[in-house]
Amino acid sequence: MPSETEIGRRFKNIRDAMLRESLDALIVCGNQYAGFEGAVFYVSGFEIVHRYVYVLIPLEGEPTLVFPQEARWIGDKAKPWVKNQVWPDVPGHWLAERGAEKRWKRVGVYGMNFVMAVRDYRELTNASFEMVPFDTAFDMVRAVKSEEEMVEVRDAMDIILDGFWALVAAYEPGKTEAEIMAPAVERFFARGAGPRMMNILLSGTHGEAEAAFKVPGNRIVAANDLLLYSLEVTGAGCYWVEFSRPLIRGKISPRTQAMADAYPEALEAARKLMRAGELASHVHRLVAQRFNKHGFALGHLSGHSIGTTMLEYPAIGENSDVVLQENMIFSLHPQVVDQNGRVCLYTQDTYRIGKLEGECLANVPWKFFTGEEARHRTAS
């Protein structure tokens, strides 16, 4: 759990942002969907294991954890530092009544578009107060990580690399996609990730990967299949990190090779630009330009802020003119696609924004892995 100093820092920053928006209170939403549980953990210490929960933070006074009645016995209610806890039949109705009782006029909501339960939203649309979207402001409050948070981020990176090397060791043509992934998931779970992981795959035949993500399944892998496992997990401290490297035992196609030729230059240029005072959009444009020079486009945004929620604001995108600050953490994951949008190459790394340049938190070269690397690593 965070120290009292760290908890105090978080609430001060949140309430300062609330004051700037003239809010009387804030509702922080979280649910079990992978990556959407983290905001609740950030402000309360409660770990969602099923269903959903809200944290009500008044501008003055103690926060309250608001659970749906059916989740009364789900999750360790003694663990969070927020001790005020209620279990109404319909949380939205309770929140609306609370606001009326306190005569609140403006209540911010983090997670109104993607996280809040529909039944609660219906109740709150009839509340006596105005609901104010607060996603961007909340994410900017928590975008710069403290030294305590950086310890958790680096622990999560150590875990994800442990799993990656287990995956590389397990990689062998003749196995299924799921069998190759399984040892990595075992390491993740054993080291505290729990259910907080999203491990998906881009794969294909003849030295190329199809451009659509999927769940690793029972398809048997051949030597010339290209595998791009997207590893996304947290550590026990609930901070997300992301990592990926390509695997193939056989021969890559000329088209994949042409994509690969662009990666080292693009990644290194991006790393150097991930510095305090730079705009996030400049990083994206630089990455896109490097790939465009080789005749390829990006499949989507080149990255995003990451923390206790998998996807946080700001993005590394064309229109993201947010000034980067030291100790922001970003996932950089340029997916390069061909002119038809059918074939791709992909990588993921997690970076810390530095004073003069970015720090890649994974000391793993970008290359095509064959499986032999894990055996050499064990032998050494």
User: Are the folds of 4-143 and 147-379 the same?
Assistant: no
Tracing tokens 């075992």 back to the chain, one arrives at 186
- The whole-angstrom separation of Cα 106 and Cα 99 is 9
- The whole-angstrom separation of Cα 81 and Cα 46 is 8
Classify residue 21 by its DSSP letter.
T
Q: Which long-range contacts (CB under 8 A, 24 or more apart) does 17-23 make?
A: 17/134, 17/137, 17/138, 17/140, 17/141, 18/57, 18/59, 18/108, 19/59, 20/137, 21/106, 21/108, 21/132, 21/134, 21/137, 22/106, 23/59, 23/106, 23/107, 23/108, 23/132, 23/134
| Residues 149/305, Cβ–Cβ less than 8 Å | no
The helix (H) or strand (E) run that includes residue 147 is helix 147-170
| Residues 294/259, Cβ–Cβ less than 8 Å | yes
For the structural domain made of 147-379, what CATH number should be given?
A: 3.90.230.10
| Residues 36/309, Cβ–Cβ less than 8 Å | yes
Provide the β-strand partners of residue 229. Answer: 201
One pLDDT digit (tens) per residue for the chain, 380 residues: 899 999 999 999 999 999 999 999 999 999 988 788 899 999 999 999 889 999 999 999 999 999 999 988 888 999 999 999 999 999 999 999 999 999 999 999 999 988 999 999 999 999 999 999 999 999 999 999 999 999 999 999 999 999 999 999 999 999 999 999 999 999 999 999 999 999 999 999 999 999 999 999 999 999 999 999 999 999 999 999 999 999 999 999 999 999 999 899 999 999 999 999 999 999 999 999 998 888 888 877 799 999 999 999 999 988 899 999 999 999 999 988 888 888 999 999 999 999 999 999 999 999 999 999 887 777 66
pLDDT for position 378? 73
pLDDT for position 337? 87
Provide the β-strand partners of residue 337. Answer: 297, 344
Q: Where are the domains of the chain?
A: 4-143, 147-379
pLDDT for position 380? 63
Q: Which residues, 6+ apart, have CB-to-CB distance to 320 below 8 Å?
A: 279, 280, 281, 284, 314
Q: Which tokens sit at 304? A: 């995003």
pLDDT for position 295? 84
- C-alpha distance from residue 141 to each of 95, 287, 340 (Å): 24, 27, 40
Q: State the CATH architecture for 4-143.
A: 3-Layer(aba) Sandwich (3.40)
pLDDT for position 379? 66
Orientation angle between helical segments 177-190 and 147-170, nearest 10 degrees: 150
- C-alpha distance from residue 151 to each of 80, 119, 237 (Å): 20, 38, 9
